[in-house]
């Protein structure tokens, strides 16, 4: 049999050439998963023949002793396990190959010569934990199966860039740790593999070293620096439960790469002995839960692949405290068949839950010892099949008394001749010393007293059917089951019927005032905004007047055809004749006049009226003296009396002079 195997071994290349239709497999790889001597081996190879009916046989040959160690029919598989007992000694060099058979044809793979004891292939490394602080990344890895040190190769890169490589070694029986330095604000990817350290001198050859498979690519985000912001909404409250919807925001993108998980811790059972905190993990940003009517505490923190955020804790307050017990809550609850938890505390101001809260799982309400005349509050919780609810919630007193004070700030408002409104501040809970049943109001005036009861939650009351111009006294007191407390008193007097305006008169007055204000505002707006056209003023050209020494010889713009000069003289002075050849200086008018004839005079001279100018400027108020007439005119009345006047209109000016009959001179 041995000679037959040797013959097959030396003749298998020739058989491969003859079997042209047979395709051999790749060289086999045989290894064990640890350095332990009692470890079994695994052999694997790649099939290259697409034929489905092919079969494979593994051959292991002892090169030193020239004998076959084992051969195993693997059928159609590409992997097989070899027990250590089948191999015997594994520290000698062996030859290994795979024989493939397709129908009547056989072919062999290439042989590989190895020392099987040196062929160790670790499993691919797993990253147990990563912690990143700024640019430092600390990596914790799992140990190999034999708890030995190993040689590692790590590669990393920024997203989209080239890989960078490094190697490091770890020691036996210690944690496999590695520190990688990265950029402070960049996102990275890392991947690792490892191989066993040789423990025999025969295994120093690198050909025997086998690397493990590469670990999956892991994203390395930035650490989560911010505490999650958590919100809650109460959706439903019934049967002793409250449905709560929690929500929060995700970290920024550079902190969320690789995924984020959220850890929620919810306290659902207040009693210490059976206190239960439920931890919930979710990758969503919302979570629905159910809590009791009592106070609940919820905490949350976010976790990514390199660390966790700071923890955020919120407190969902208890439902609003009742003023009286709700007897309907416990009607359908059988507390004997369930686990119970009693929670109670002092409630001095009626609203605030104190820091100190008493809790017990086996105490009845009747056994609780509390202060007298002080309000307390209790919750009775039950649980059955992990269903937590509040069976009863109620305020209570061990003993009640009447209030020690009356209402504060009693005030009268909306006073008329027949009604008034009295208001007050409610008696504080700490001063009530019992359950306030109602307020008692006494109204005294006009010879009688009326009594009214007002519900305890009201703080005002409308007093009706009062008499005009009458004084009244109002007293208010709180009442508990132990009696009435002290009174708070206020006095007032109603209005007379004639006093003041009715609401109709006030309405009319207000309308009139509003109309007047609107009129004034519109008038001012019209003037400011110039919405109406301006009244035109007469336009007169300004003529430059100069004294004789400054005047030039340019002709005047206005041509005068004829005019009348009136000379006024005193009656006591003799009249002087005015010759036509001679100019007359009229000092009374401030004018220098040169006579003009239509034709040449006896001496052939012509007087030019254009040379006449005023040596004084006109009256600045001459625009106000303008008389609009259709055409210039002059008047000479020879029959005028002593008080007659002569009127002249020239160049927009009207002259009126009182003269005598013998004082007139016409030119």
For residue 507, being part of any structural domain is answered with no
Strands (E), 273-328: 276-282, 286-291, 296-304, 307-308, 312-316
Domain tally, the chain:
5
Residues 597 and 653 reside in one and the same domain = yes
Mean pLDDT of 401-407: 93
**pLDDT recorded at residue 420:** 94
Residues 554 and 663 reside in one and the same domain = yes
Residues 635 and 662 reside in one and the same domain = yes
For residue 453, being part of any structural domain is answered with yes
Residues 557 and 624 reside in one and the same domain = yes
Instruction: Check if the beta carbon of residue 82 is closer than 8 Å to that of residue 90.
Output: no
For residue 441, being part of any structural domain is answered with yes
Residues 389 and 416 reside in one and the same domain = no
Instruction: Check if the beta carbon of residue 135 is closer than 8 Å to that of residue 179.
Output: no
Domain that residue 606 falls in: 540-667
Residues 470 and 559 reside in one and the same domain = no
For residue 86, being part of any structural domain is answered with yes
Residues 372 and 431 reside in one and the same domain = no
303 Cβ contact partners less than 8 Å away, ≥ 6 residues apart: 224, 260, 261, 262, 263, 309
In our burial notation (b when 16+ CB lie closer than 10 A, e otherwise), range 376-405 reads bbbbbbbbeeeebbbbbbbbbbeebbbbeb
Q: How many distinct helices (H) and strands (E) make up the chain?
A: 5, 39
Name the more confident of 533 and 449: 449
Residue 556 has pLDDT above 90, yes or no: no
- Which region holds residue 13: left if phi is over 0, alpha if psi is between -120 and 50, else beta? alpha
pLDDT band at 232 (very low <50, low <70, confident <90, very high): very high
Long-range contacts of 536-543 (CB under 8 A, 24+ apart): 538/623, 538/626, 538/628, 540/622, 540/623, 540/626, 540/652
**pLDDT recorded at residue 579:** 44
Residues 111 and 133 reside in one and the same domain = no
0.75 exceeded by pTM: no
Three-class SS of residue 270? coil
For residue 498, being part of any structural domain is answered with no
CB atoms within 10 A of CB 534: 6
For residue 319, being part of any structural domain is answered with no
- Which region holds residue 373: left if phi is over 0, alpha if psi is between -120 and 50, else beta? left
For residue 330, being part of any structural domain is answered with no
Residue 640 has pLDDT above 90, yes or no: no
Residues 482 and 553 reside in one and the same domain = no
Q: Cα–Cα distance between 438 and 573 in angstroms, integer?
A: 118
Give the lowest-confidence range in 216-225, 262-271, 588-597.
588-597
Three-class SS of residue 661? helix
The tokens for 205 are 């050859």
Cβ-count burial of 409 within 10 angstroms (0-12 exposed, 13-18 middle, 19+ buried)?
A: exposed
Tens digits of per-residue pLDDT, 641-652? 444 555 555 555
For residue 255, being part of any structural domain is answered with no
Long-range contacts of 570-577 (CB under 8 A, 24+ apart): 571/660, 575/662, 575/663
Tens digits of per-residue pLDDT, 93-104? 888 998 888 888
Instruction: Check if the beta carbon of residue 437 is closer than 8 Å to that of residue 477.
Output: no
Q: What CATH number is given to the structural domain containing 18?
A: 2.60.40.10
Token pair 């670790």 in the structure block, residue: 122
Tens digits of per-residue pLDDT, 575-616? 444 444 444 433 444 434 444 444 334 344 433 434 443 334
**pLDDT recorded at residue 269:** 82
Residues 554 and 631 reside in one and the same domain = yes
Residues 557 and 584 reside in one and the same domain = yes
Q: Cα–Cα distance between 286 and 264 in angstroms, integer?
A: 11
Instruction: Check if the beta carbon of residue 393 is closer than 8 Å to that of residue 326.
Output: yes
Which residue from 523, 533, 552 is spatially nearest to 613, judged by alpha carbons? 552
Average per-residue pLDDT for the chain:
77
Residues of the chain above pLDDT 70, percent = 72
The tokens for 526 are 């019209």
């Amino acid at each position: 049999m041995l000679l037959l195997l040797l013959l097959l071994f030396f003749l298998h290349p020739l058989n491969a050439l003859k079997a042209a239709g047979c395709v051999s497999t790749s060289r086999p790889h045989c290894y064990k998963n640890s350095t332990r001597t009692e470890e079994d081996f695994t052999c694997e190879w790649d099939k290259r023949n697409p034929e489905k009916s092919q079969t494979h046989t593994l051959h292991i040959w002892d090169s030193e002793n020239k004998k076959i160690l084992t051969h195993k029919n693997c059928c159609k598989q590409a992997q097989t396990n070899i027990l250590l007992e089948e191999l015997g000694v594994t520290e000698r060099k062996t030859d290994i190959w795979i024989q493939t058979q397709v129908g009547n044809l056989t072919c062999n793979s290439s042989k590989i010569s190895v020392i099987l004891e040196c062929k160790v292939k670790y499993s691919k490394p797993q990253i147990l934990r990563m912690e990143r602080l700024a640019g430092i990344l600390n990596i914790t890895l799992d140990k190999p199966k034999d708890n030995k040190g190993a040689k590692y190769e790590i590669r990393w890169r920024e997203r989209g860039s080239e890989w960078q490589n490094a190697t490091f070694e770890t020691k036996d029986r210690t944690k496999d740790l590695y520190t990688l330095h990265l950029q402070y604000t960049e996102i990275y990817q890392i991947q690792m593999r490892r191989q066993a350290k040789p423990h025999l001198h025969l295994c120093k050859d690198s050909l025997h070293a086998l690397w493990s498979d590469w670990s999956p690519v892991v994203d390395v985000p930035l650490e989560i620096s911010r505490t999650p912001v958590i919100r809650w909404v109460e959706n439903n409250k019934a049967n002793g439960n409250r449905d709560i919807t929690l929500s929060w925001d995700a970290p920024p993108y550079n902190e969320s790469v690789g995924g984020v998980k959220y850890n929620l811790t919810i306290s659902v059972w207040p009693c210490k002995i059976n206190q239960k905190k439920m931890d919930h993990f979710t990758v969503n940003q919302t979570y629905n839960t159910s809590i009791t009517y009592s106070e609940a505490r919820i905490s949350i923190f976010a976790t990514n692949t390199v660390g966790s955020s700071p923890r955020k804790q919120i407190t969902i307050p208890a439902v609003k405290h009742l003023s009286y017990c709700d007897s309907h809550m416990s009607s359908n609850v059988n507390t004997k068949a369930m686990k119970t938890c009693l929670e109670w505390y002092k409630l001095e101001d009626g609203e605030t839950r104190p820091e100190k809260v008493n809790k017990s799982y086996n105490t009845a309400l009747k056994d609780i010892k509390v202060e007298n005349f002080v309000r307390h509050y209790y919750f009775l919780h039950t649980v059955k099949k992990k269903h937590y609810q509040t069976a009863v919630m109620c305020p209570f007193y061990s003993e009640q008394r009447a209030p020690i004070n009356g209402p504060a700030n009693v005030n009268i408002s909306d006073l008329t001749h027949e009604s008034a409104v009295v208001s007050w501040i409610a008696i504080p809970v700490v001063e009530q010393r019992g359950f306030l049943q109602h307020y008692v109001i006494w109204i005294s005036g006009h010879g009688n007293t009326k009594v009214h009861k007002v519900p305890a939650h009201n703080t005002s009351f409308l007093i009706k059917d009062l008499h005009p111009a009458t004084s009244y006294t109002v007293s208010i007191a709180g009442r508990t089951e132990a009696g009435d407390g002290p009174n708070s008193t206020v006095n007032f007097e109603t209005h007379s019927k004639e006093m003041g305006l009715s609401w109709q008169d006030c309405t009319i007055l207000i309308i009139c005032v509003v109309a007047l204000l609107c009129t004034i505002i519109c008038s001012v707006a019209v003037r400011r905004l110039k919405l109406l056209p301006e009244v035109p003023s007469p336009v007169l050209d300004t003529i430059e007047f100069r004294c004789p020494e400054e005047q030039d010889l340019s002709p005047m713009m206005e041509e005068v055809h004829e005019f009348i000069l009136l000379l006024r003289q005193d009656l006591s002075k003799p009249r002087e004749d005015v010759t036509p050849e001679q100019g007359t200086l009229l000092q009374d008018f401030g004018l220098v006049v040169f006579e003009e004839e239509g034709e040449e005079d006896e001496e052939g001279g012509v007087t030019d009226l254009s040379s006449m100018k005023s040596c004084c400027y006109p009256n600045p108020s001459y625009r106000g003296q303008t008389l609009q007439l259709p055409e210039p005119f002059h008047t000479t009345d020879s029959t005028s009396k002593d008080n007659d006047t002569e009127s002249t209109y020239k160049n927009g000016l009207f002259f009126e002079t009182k003269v005598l009959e013998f004082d007139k001179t016409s030119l």
